[in-house]
Amino acid sequence: MELKLLEDFLCLADQLSFSRAAEMRHVTQSTFSKRIRSLEHWFGADLVDRSSHPVTLTPEGAAAIAPSREIVQMMHGLREGISKFPKQPANAVSFAALHTLLVTFMPAWRKSIEAQMGKINLGPMYQNTEYASTLRMLRNGDVDFLLTYSHHAVAMNLPEDKFESITLAQERIIPASAPDANGRPLHAIRPDSVLNYISYGSSSFFASAVAALLAERPLALNVMASNAMSVGLRSQVLVGTGLAWLPESLIRQDLADGRLVLGGDEEWEFTVDVKLVRGCNRRPTPDLLWEVARRLVPQTQPCLGAEVLI
């Protein structure tokens, strides 16, 4: 049902004349009458009594007046509000991204891209603690690209024939703890004891990735705190709340300075890929960025724990 049909009906209700209402709506009386019939068909009821002169509203028509006015006013208000939103420049590029990658990966990667194609006019950088919502933004065409981690246990459900991806780097996810006075981990992984653990919750990317590791290697966990973002877990680990699995690039300096130490050996680490996923939007600037990003992909993806990202 088109909004103009409700506007026709309200005009007829005000004028009580098909000819005057048609004139005010700038259509022929025949066209106007057909549009009122179309609206009555949609409602499944007669809205006007055509046997009287001037025309009158039926009980159904009278009942439809107030909600019809409200709907029309609401839709016009919505259109006016949307029209006031700032317009994104045609050459803007929009990203959805995991917060950790915005902090650890994006700055250097963007610099390498801009060295090849000039300054990128970045649109909004969307972040969402629910990974499913982040994926939905790309799927719905709300953004041009998704910058994300990738792990076999975390389903993306993006058809490969519609959403191309390239692997930009790799990242080690390591169990980290604050140190005790002797430099040993306050919270260490020991299969025969309960581990004070800081959780990613249930809906973030790392919630699923860490859950896969713990499903393979079960531990007795005492959940001390929960946060969907790696930076939030890092803060808790630094003050000694418990152990958490954290991206190495996020805590590289903490490890170097001794503020954090490893809470488990290599068998408790796992690796994720850093991927750039292209949405369905096709515009010159995102297309150019994609081609530059593909050219810059090294033969062997670097680990983000290293000094050089790209």
What pLDDT does residue 79 have?
80
Residue with the bigger pLDDT between 142 and 242: it is 242
* Residue 133: pLDDT over 60: yes
Which of the listed residues 67, 84, 101 is the one where a domain comes to its end?
A: 84
* Residue 310: pLDDT over 50: no
> Which CATH number do you get for residue 112?
3.40.190.290
Residue with the bigger pLDDT between 127 and 97: it is 97
Q: Which of 125-129, 204-208, 299-303 has the lowest mean pLDDT?
A: 299-303
pLDDT digits (tens, 9 = 90+) for 70-79: 998 888 888 8
Which of the listed residues 84, 108, 138 is the one where a domain comes to its end?
A: 84
Mean pLDDT of 245-256: 96
> Which CATH number do you get for residue 27?
1.10.10.10
* Residue 123: pLDDT over 80: no
C-alpha to C-alpha distance for 130 and 207, rounded to whole angstroms:
10
In a domain, 310, yes or no: no
Considering the domain architecture, whether residues 158 and 242 belong to the same structural domain is answered as: yes
pTM: 0.68
pLDDT digits (tens, 9 = 90+) for 78-110: 887 776 665 566 678 889 999 899 989 999 999
Q: Using 50, 70 and 90 to split pLDDT, how confident is the model at 53?
A: confident
What pLDDT does residue 306 have?
40
Considering the domain architecture, whether residues 189 and 136 belong to the same structural domain is answered as: yes
Mean pLDDT of 249-259: 96
Full residue range of the structural domain in which residue 58 is found:
3-84
Residue with the bigger pLDDT between 141 and 224: it is 224
Q: Using 50, 70 and 90 to split pLDDT, how confident is the model at 308?
A: very low
Considering the domain architecture, whether residues 183 and 285 belong to the same structural domain is answered as: yes
What pLDDT does residue 89 have?
62
Considering the domain architecture, whether residues 20 and 114 belong to the same structural domain is answered as: no
What pLDDT does residue 300 have?
44
Considering the domain architecture, whether residues 133 and 59 belong to the same structural domain is answered as: no
Considering the domain architecture, whether residues 288 and 171 belong to the same structural domain is answered as: yes
Considering the domain architecture, whether residues 21 and 118 belong to the same structural domain is answered as: no
pLDDT digits (tens, 9 = 90+) for 170-211: 999 999 999 999 999 999 999 889 999 999 998 899 999 999
Considering the domain architecture, whether residues 181 and 150 belong to the same structural domain is answered as: yes
Considering the domain architecture, whether residues 158 and 194 belong to the same structural domain is answered as: yes
In a domain, 26, yes or no: yes
As a whole-number percent, the residues of the chain with pLDDT over 70 amount to 91
Which of the listed residues 84, 109, 138 is the one where a domain comes to its end?
A: 84
